[in-house]
Structure 1
């Protein structure tokens, strides 16, 4: 039989999606599943974006430029400039989701065997993107007892080798909800300049910050012009996950010239979705104000109710819409399957994402789960009660 590639065998399963067959089987039995496992917002997509697709007069659905349409890139740049962050259209490449922006970034700055240091836990697909690019992820552990704050810079420095090409952060963090402070960004900036590395920031969740805190973009620092690469997406910001539109931004001309070659190889990002993405930039601030108010209320309810379950420890998110909860179980993977296969309350159960897949270090996170609070408050409360009663029975 022909052989599968070593790279293909090494590609990790998604901890977010690998339990889908168990959820589908539960649904076939008539069980209602509350999905806490995936960051698919239930917030409505801005009407202005949907109307742009419905009302367009295109007669030919043609290729767009490989870097994205000029009008969309100009609008993105204008949006950043309005926030006081100087960005030019030529410093932007539109991609098929933030995922492709990360692939272009790794392809542009890393050779096979090169290393990228990432604070863990991190977005699970970073492992997949790295494997696909022949890049080695080098994790630096952040801890639940520290609320997943930036590890000490000395811990990063211990890991830097001749193969290190970049530090990658997600800010605010998926799966932790941690929001890096200006001081932490300054520490990272000093380090990447000292060792002549790139600093990649996944800023997909930058609108979602809580408790009076503000997001600090690495693009705000002019001293990082040669080092900073931002990955962004419309998926979470406008509840447009299915549009598959993202972009990468860098003031480093060599990086963008190189990334454009990858963009040309895949021809162009989707035309209709760019139309929707461009229109979404007209979304009023009131939309975000309402969304953030809703997420804060959900977060507060979730953290309160999780904290009241015996043996559960939870980190308090400061942004995004995820949290990591440590459970009184040895194997969260087994527990998550059990919830779907063998447990329900009045015909209802929950699906969570086992957190081990968000770590690169073997053995860490095996008793943790990621919970996405993308359900209305009433359903979140029911879901936490199912978790509570499920833990009692599982451990009993």
Structure 2
């Protein structure tokens, strides 16, 4: 038989999937994958059931239903401050990953380079690699409990093959929330080299301690070169529904939509209709969600510190990227992958090993990512297990 495509040679099951399999095998608690197994808001569920009963089962337009695109465009303008032209600036996709995939196919040729800020979300690097696009990691600097951006490092990483910069804010796995001054410095380099900016903002409603989420595309003059990627999975606890979107200048959104048509035809129709009918949710929903996550963040950080791990409260999202601290190199904690196995086998709690988020696995060898998007009782049990085993 003829060989498989060479692009698949380096494909491996992600660490996130692997730890999920292993913790399920022992009947443990999964703090690895960002599953967010909380209840989907009742208005969204009820509106979706009604859509199913009404027979909303046929294909939608390739870029999404008019009603949902209008709702997203309104939100992009009012919440994010992005100067969208209207629903023609929105493409509804099968999750934000689908939006990222369609955007990659729209913007990049094999051999192009895209800059990622490290630690980065591994699926971004994987999708770029699958399509022959080289990801270039620019390390963020950890100090004083937060991750900071050095514009000189970005300038040094730009070559004549660089076509875009990818910004995650709030970031997975670090929880970094980009500041106004950092975005200003980033766009100075971007404009100097005429680059695109892709943003992943799916954790935009999870920003702590009075910080404010800033959408890069809302900056003066930024919108024409910025594609905003987001979705509903994290905010509304619906990761399995696979509904995301891209927001871009209308002529760019049209191309992203046409690629979306070829890759998936459209996002799930009944779910689009149901979500559009339920939006927007009351402001009280977002206030309570943030309060709940703030409490869970504290619970997670306190437990990890009690175990001797280095854990700083994230600025945003719902992950703690912890350091192994003095445990690094001790039996069972020789590196992050060994530590992940030890936590699963000893405490029945899964996390994700740090090398998943770094270009050089050595740089992530002392880190573990924990997700606290769990019911409070489940998170409490996981934290108690960790402290009982390692505290």
User: What TM-score, normalized by structure 2, do the two folds share?
Assistant: 0.91
Could you tell me how far apart the structure 2 residues matched to 1:378 and 1:188 are?
A: 41
Name 2:54's counterpart in structure 1: 58
Could you tell me how far apart the structure 2 residues matched to 1:22 and 1:264 are?
A: 36
Please say if 1:71 is aligned against 2:67.
Answer: yes
Give the 4+ runs in structure 1 shifted more than 4 A.
388-392
1:117-132 map, 5 Å: 117-132=115-130
Name 2:39's counterpart in structure 1: 44
SS in 1 for 2:26: helix
Contact 1:350 1:386 in 2 (8 A): yes
Please say if 1:352 is aligned against 2:356.
Answer: no
Structure 2 vs 1, CA of residues 59 and 383 (structure 1 numbering), >3 Å: closer, same or farther? closer
Structure 2 vs 1, CA of residues 330 and 248 (structure 1 numbering), >3 Å: closer, same or farther? same
Which residue, 100, 105, 108 being the options, matches 2:98? 100
Name 1:6's counterpart in structure 2: 6
Structure 1 residue 215: Cα displacement: 0.2
Name 2:261's counterpart in structure 1: 264
Contact 1:41 1:236 in 2 (8 A): yes
Q: Deviations for 1:349-394, whole angstroms, at most 9, x for unmatched residues?
A: 20111121111223111121100012344543442343345457xx
SS in 2 for 1:66: coil
Of residues 194-203 and 184-193 in structure 1, the stretch that sits farther from structure 2 once superposed is 184-193
Could you tell me how far apart the structure 2 residues matched to 1:61 and 1:280 are?
A: 18
Contact 1:245 1:277 in 2 (8 A): no
Please say if 1:334 is aligned against 2:338.
Answer: yes
Structure 2 vs 1, CA of residues 377 and 45 (structure 1 numbering), >3 Å: closer, same or farther? closer
Could you tell me how far apart the structure 1 residues matched to 2:21 and 2:183 are?
A: 40
Could you tell me how far apart the structure 2 residues matched to 1:367 and 1:385 are?
A: 23
Could you tell me how far apart the structure 2 residues matched to 1:176 and 1:66 are?
A: 34
In the alignment, structure 2 segments of 5+ residues that lack a partner are 328-332
Contact 2:141 2:150 in 1 (8 A): no
In the alignment, structure 1 segments of 5+ residues that lack a partner are 28-32
Structure 1 residue 119: Cα displacement: 0.6
Please say if 1:243 is aligned against 2:241.
Answer: yes
Structure 2 vs 1, CA of residues 280 and 355 (structure 1 numbering), >3 Å: closer, same or farther? farther
Q: Deviations for 1:314-357, whole angstroms, at most 9, x for unmatched residues?
A: 2320111111001123322122123334x24xxxx201111211
SS in 2 for 1:55: helix
Q: Deviations for 1:154-184, whole angstroms, at most 9, x for unmatched residues?
A: 0011110111111101100111111111111
SS in 1 for 2:227: strand
Of residues 279-288 and 141-150 in structure 1, the stretch that sits farther from structure 2 once superposed is 141-150
Structure 1 residue 281: Cα displacement: 2.0
Of residues 193-202 and 49-58 in structure 1, the stretch that sits farther from structure 2 once superposed is 49-58
Structure 1 residue 25: Cα displacement: 2.5
Contact 1:115 1:166 in 2 (8 A): yes
Could you tell me how far apart the structure 2 residues matched to 1:277 and 1:12 are?
A: 34
Give the length in aligned residue pairs: 380
Contact 1:233 1:246 in 2 (8 A): yes
Could you tell me how far apart the structure 1 residues matched to 2:113 and 2:386 are?
A: 38
Contact 1:225 1:252 in 2 (8 A): no
Contact 2:82 2:223 in 1 (8 A): no
Which residue, 313, 316, 325 being the options, matches 1:319? 316
Name 2:371's counterpart in structure 1: 372
User: What TM-score, normalized by structure 1, do the two folds share?
Assistant: 0.90
Name 2:205's counterpart in structure 1: 207
Contact 2:20 2:33 in 1 (8 A): no
SS in 2 for 1:215: coil
Aligned alpha-carbon RMSD (Å): 1.9
Of residues 277-286 and 116-125 in structure 1, the stretch that sits farther from structure 2 once superposed is 277-286
Could you tell me how far apart the structure 2 residues matched to 1:5 and 1:315 are?
A: 43
